[in-house]
Amino acid sequence: MDITILGQQLLGYIPLGDIVLYLAPLNLFMFASTLAFTTIIAISKTETQVEADFGTLKDKEVKVDQKEFKIRRFLAIVCGLATAGAMITGDLFNFILFVCLIGIVNIGIVAAVKQVDVLDAAFQYGLVAMIAVLPLFGGAAMILASAGTISLLEIVNIPTTFMMLFGSLLLFIGVAGETGVAPFYATKAEMFRTPGSPFLLIIHLSSLLVIVRVIEILLIINKPF
């Protein structure tokens, strides 16, 4: 079993001391698309929502003020860079730290809004993200204990044991909680009910790409084929 799964070709390595990045078409594509989307977000302006009242003509504009806009744009760029890093890293623990950074930044993007129910949803999402740290780090620590390394390039050559299987199960639960996909999506859907659309979209994009990447990592660790 090679590090390249799903019929990919390995294009090369970037060895930076302990940290070795590997370049494969899937990772490179996701990396480049994340960077492109982050650039689009960095140069775009926010939307303005209109809250319509049924039966009357009192439409209300909900705008984002300048200060909040700047904070949100910064956090969205950080989120995009963390997602790009998670796509291309060849180290399990770096991947986990990037995922945690995405979780924290997702909370931060909606932290400054004025709607109380959105803040409530962000609080619940934060609790789930914080609980998910346990299976996330615990799974990675179990994989480290049973494989002896956290470099994906080395784990490929080690036969899978039961502890590695259990650890990767925990890892998957942790990533699901941290990015807020099913079964934890209920609070995350509430978070989008605030103005400032292009910045909120990075929350979606990061969770989608991280799920694809974690499936690749789990295939590398467990070698089912």
State the residues that interact with other proteins by CB under 8 A: 93, 97, 100, 103-104, 107-108, 111-112, 114, 116, 119-120, 122-123, 126-127, 129-131, 133-134, 136-138, 140-142, 144-148, 150, 158-159, 161
Task: Tell me whether residue 113 or residue 214 sits nearer to other proteins (CB atom).
Answer: 113
Buried b (16+ CB within 10 A) or exposed e, 136-153: bbbbbbbbbebbeebbbb
C-alpha neighbours within 13 Å on the C-beta side of residue 194: 26
Task: Choose between 9 and 66: whose C-beta lies nearer to other proteins.
Answer: 66
Closer Cβ to other proteins, 49 or 115, answer by number: 115
Please give the C-alpha separations between residue 117 and each of 48, 66, 128, 189, in angstroms, as whole numbers. 19, 22, 17, 12
Helix (H, G, I), strand (E, B) or coil at 20: strand
Contact between residue 87 and residue 30 where contact means Cβ atoms under 8 Å apart: yes
Smallest gap from Cβ 198 to other proteins, in A, equals: 22
Query: Shortest gap between Cβ of 31 and other proteins (angstroms)?
Result: 22
CB of 112 to other proteins, least distance (A): 7
Q: Which is nearer to other proteins, 24 or 132 (CB)?
A: 132
DSSP character for 14? E
- Tell me whether residue 25 or residue 138 sits nearer to other proteins (CB atom): 138
The distance of closest approach from Cβ of residue 100 to other proteins in the complex, given in angstroms and rounded to an integer, is 4
Name which of 148, 163, 145, 139 is nearest 217 in CA terms. Answer: 139
Q: Least Å distance between CB 72 and other proteins?
A: 14
E strand or H helix at 94, and its extent?
helix 92-109
Structure tokens at 142: 């179990």
State which residue, 13 or 123, has the beta carbon closest to other proteins: 123
Count CB-CB contacts under 10 A for residue 24. 19
**Shortest distance (Å) from residue 149 CB to other proteins:** 9
